[in-house]
Structure 1
Amino acid sequence: MLINFDWNMVIFVINSMTGFGRGEYKSGSVRCIVEIRTVNHKNYDYSIRCPKELFSVEDRIRDLVKAYISRGKADIFVTYVNEDTKVSSVIVDSGLVKAYIDAISQASSEIGLNFEPRTDIFFKIPDAFTQVKEATDADVLWSNISPAFEAALIALTNMRHIEAIKLIAGIEDCFDRIGQFFTVIEEKSETVPEEYRKKLTDRLSELLDKQIIDEQRIAAEVAVFADRCCIDEEIVRFKSHIAQFKKLLAEKESQSKQDAKQSVGKKMDFIIQEMNREINTMGSKANDLTITNSVIAIKSEIEKIREQVQNIE
């Protein structure tokens, strides 16, 4: 029998890597909208699209996001408006304006139209003018945007928790089925040598007819066979790996904040590899069709768990 485990202990303890969160903050003339999308990724990756005026606090943004996300790819989109921010100067891209005027003049000439440039056309040229706004104190800027980031990250975490519930439910079902098949393997492995002895004795009886069978020789043959197909050690290690997997989930609940940021998904993936290694060895050593069929079924369930683990943070 595999290790008993209360799966309810891990609900809302681990996170999926897939999720979305949105946060918004309004105060006076300030409005900030933050949207965060996370997807599967082997390690941690981060990208942000935000107005240039937020560049001074980008390190703070990165640190805050990293406190919530330890694994996966995070795409962050920030909209920030402060109507009280004054424009200190305007930069004109004269080269760009001239290039547009020349192109329009040439096109007009080619189709037989008269073109007389007017200054109002400048304002229709994309990116011809760049507003340079007065720099905002970094602490003030952070107080304007951090509430939206916190709200988005909390919403993201809640969604990732909900997704984790589905993952845990799937993993639980797989372990239940593994337990059933593994019980068959444990019980059958104890009878394989004796079944081999019976088959060997029956076969020799047919071949030797009424001649005396050398029981000592049969015992020696059975001993060699039993040693060759013994999977006791693999059974012990396989059960140990399952216990480690479930303990890893349980320990996640009591970890410190620093430890909790470490990726549990990578550790699970390693344990799954070890489980697969042990079950493969059982299949190659056990000279029994029932065990072989159970091994195949367990490998299928392990693969399902592996797919689920790929989405665990």
Structure 2
Amino acid sequence: MSSSIASMTGYARAERADGPQSVRLEIRSVNGRNLDMRLRLPPGFDALDIPLRQEVSRALSRGSVNLVVTVERNSVGGSVRVNPAALETVLAAMETLSARISPSTPPALENILALPGVLVLDQPTLSDDEDGIAALVMTCAAEAIEYLCAMRVEEGRATAMILNRVLDSIEALVSDAQDHPARAREHVEARLRAQLANLVADAGLPPDRLAQEALLLATKADIQEELDRLRAHITAARKLIADGGPVGRRLDFLAQEFNREANTLCAKANAVELTAIGLDLKAAIDQLREQVQNIE
């Protein structure tokens, strides 16, 4: 397993030449829920579709990948030819026009040959040199994919630093909530006394009912369980980042759990200050989720 997390974003290009033929392969990847590949190959090269997909699958587990192969043949003899049908069409059109108008000078040969379709550049196909061209393409693929993976890992390292900084912020906010005076026993008791006084004045409830209401209020205001789970999620997220590899899906799941606990904390907060901490937690968790979306 890789010692670092990897981004899903990257680009690489590789070129190889062998005699008159050359191959250029470009590969680009962006965020994706799964591994989604789109290949664009020259006509006649469909046989390489499956091998190229297998090569990409061995290196990548997630991301939307676009791979483009360009094959050129720079040969001198036989690679460029005249298209007889196109030439006859042009000559027939010239003859027709000459019968209606009298040009001062006849068209130059180079101008006729420059017309679209008159000269044809024969494009190579896999059958022209199956082993040679296929080897060039696969060599370029291996090289480009290696560069792409290196770029994704490099960007992943930078993302890991951002994630750890966001986790530091979340951890600090959890500590702020843990130590906030609004959670102190004296503060909770004073708040309960005020609420109970209102209950007595408004409803004249008996003492045992008042005790039940006091217990209920204290239970609803207790956020210790949420704080403990947030700390556990922080530890789990740090371990996933440190272990590396394709952990994007698990980090995304953890980010959802972070958000769930922050929502519950906001709902149970018994003071405006604790609610503000909860909202800051949600903002930090949104940053976490945004960064996680780009992790393989």
Q: Flag whether TM exceeds 0.5 (same fold).
A: yes
- 1-side partners of 2:290 and 2:118: how far apart? 47
Match for residue 222 of structure 1 among 193, 214, 233: 214
Deviation at 1:24, TM superposition (A): 2.1
Residue ranges of structure 2 left out of the alignment (5+ in a row): 201-205
More deviation in 66-75 or 296-305? 66-75
2:238 aligned with 1:246:
yes
Given that 2:171 and 2:231 are in contact with CA atoms closer than 8 Å, whether structure 1 keeps it comes out as no
Match for residue 60 of structure 2 among 51, 57, 69: 69
- The amino acid that maps onto 1:276 is N
- 2-side partners of 1:104 and 1:226: how far apart? 98
2:158 aligned with 1:158:
no
- 1-side partners of 2:95 and 2:128: how far apart? 42
TM-score, normalization by structure 1: 0.73
- The amino acid that maps onto 2:171 is G
The alignment's C-alpha RMSD in Å is 4.1
Deviation at 1:169, TM superposition (A): 1.3
Render the CA deviation track for 1:77-96: whole Å, top value 9, x for unaligned.
323234579979989695x8
Given that 2:15 and 2:23 are in contact with CA atoms closer than 8 Å, whether structure 1 keeps it comes out as yes
SS in 2 for 1:223: helix
Within-5 A mapping of 1:151-300: 151-188=143-180, 191-201=183-193, 220-252=212-244, 263-300=246-283
Given that 1:91 and 1:132 are in contact with CA atoms closer than 8 Å, whether structure 2 keeps it comes out as no
More deviation in 48-57 or 279-288? 48-57
Deviation at 1:301, TM superposition (A): 0.7
Match of 1:40 in 2: 31
Q: 1:55 to 1:273 in 2, by over 3 A?
A: same
SS in 2 for 1:52: coil
Given that 1:86 and 1:133 are in contact with CA atoms closer than 8 Å, whether structure 2 keeps it comes out as no
Given that 2:171 and 2:234 are in contact with CA atoms closer than 8 Å, whether structure 1 keeps it comes out as no
Given that 2:69 and 2:137 are in contact with CA atoms closer than 8 Å, whether structure 1 keeps it comes out as no
Identity %: 28
2:49 aligned with 1:58:
yes
Given that 2:182 and 2:270 are in contact with CA atoms closer than 8 Å, whether structure 1 keeps it comes out as no
Deviation at 1:100, TM superposition (A): 7.6
Q: 1:228 to 1:91 in 2, by over 3 A?
A: farther
- The amino acid that maps onto 1:181 is L
2:6 aligned with 1:15:
yes
- 2-side partners of 1:143 and 1:155: how far apart? 18
- The amino acid that maps onto 1:162 is E
Render the CA deviation track for 1:239-284: whole Å, top value 9, x for unaligned.
333333233334435xxxxxxxxx5222222221121011101110
- 2-side partners of 1:161 and 1:297: how far apart? 30
SS in 2 for 1:24: strand
More deviation in 71-80 or 303-312? 71-80
SS in 1 for 2:45: helix
Given that 1:92 and 1:130 are in contact with CA atoms closer than 8 Å, whether structure 2 keeps it comes out as no
Deviation at 1:33, TM superposition (A): 2.1
- 1-side partners of 2:107 and 2:76: how far apart? 33
- 1-side partners of 2:213 and 2:154: how far apart? 57
